[in-house]
Amino acid sequence: MESGTGSGFVWNRVLSKYENQNTIFSDYLEEFPDTDELVWILGKQHLLKTGGTGPSSDAGWGCMLRCGQMMLAQALICRHLGRDWHWEKQKEQPKAYQRILQCFLDRKDCCYSIHQMAQMGVGEGKSIGEWFGPNTVAQVLKKLALFDEWNSLAVYVSMDNTVVIEDIKKMCCVLPVSAATAGESPPDSLNASNQSKGTSACCLAWKPLLLIVPLRLGINQINPVYVDAFKECFKMPQSLGALGGKPNNAYYFIGFLGDELIFLDPHTTQNFVDTEENGTVDDQTFHCLQSPQRMNILNLDPSVALGFFCKEEKDFDSWCSLVQKEILKENLRMFELVQKHPSHWPPFVPPAKPEVTTTGAEFIDSTEQLEEFDLEEEFEILSI
């Protein structure tokens, strides 16, 4: 899976195998029949049977999921290590770094594994092994984050090209842990201040925000009128890049040079990596094996998802100011930023973890547990 931004933290690992499925021919498994018979190669026997009913690789369908992992991984780096942190080869890494790696291992008990993302996609109408679009990945990450207590992210996915400040404040403004455990309620003055002052009101505590804005910037190709605004988003200090690419061919876009987008390509299949005996992860294949690539921005498929990370409330307030200055100045706006929740929308209810019998990432053992979630419609732009 390949990923990264200015932090230098880049991921490169695409091939995944389900737990305890070991085969020497993993790269070529789909070329052989699924059989119990032994195959003999150069005097040695090998078992082709994978031992499971699911796919043993995400090659051909998992690239957008991997790009979603990249964007989220960058958010977690900003969350725990800071945006200026850089990975250095052969250097001892912070414990938080190793813990972040373990969130993305290709095992079904890891909170953001390919298994969890694919399984959660079932609730979005996507069969396991089916290609995801940018909005579907965003919805999956939003739901998986509810079970991730360590990273404790608030994931907001905009709808109808609109980011609502009031809803984000409601989701991210939380009681400090000490107050929450003591059973305290937020003071009336805070509630009144939030309602009357909007972005100028301060929270007692702010839950780090992963903000994802799915967009469709044209019908069959990107409308040139959006190009400048799209590039402006990569300049913002809160930027996590963008998910997109071409039909059935996803990339993680991290920046631009002139009219070319800079992207990381997840289409390099690699073997499954697991935790070693000392509890660390061999991270060499989690980082770029080749230089980032470039493509003309007009060749981009119009279906994209922008990502932003706001660790503190002041980061979000700054982002709002930048959007008002650089995005909303356009006659044909790429998306809208509004203060109040639109009156014609259903009431906003901050997402909460469903009641299940297990905790953490282990909760998705079957599609039955996905019924706790409300299904969301596929993103569709209503006006160009």
Q: How many CB atoms lie within 10 A of CB 98?
A: 16
Q: Is 265 a catalytic residue?
A: yes
Could you tell me if 30 and 46 are in contact, meaning their C-beta atoms sit under 8 angstroms apart? no
Angle (deg, nearest 10), helices 63-80 and 114-122: 120
Distance between start and end Cα atoms, the chain? 34
Burial tier of 93 (Cβ tally within 10 Å: 0-12, 13-18, 19+): middle
Catalytic member of 160, 202, 267, 341: 267
Q: Is 34 a catalytic residue?
A: no
Catalytic member of 63, 111, 203, 320: 63
Closest C-alpha to 83, from 244, 208, 182, 248: 208
Catalytic member of 58, 265, 301, 317: 265
Q: Is 63 a catalytic residue?
A: yes
Residues classed as catalytic: 63, 265, 267
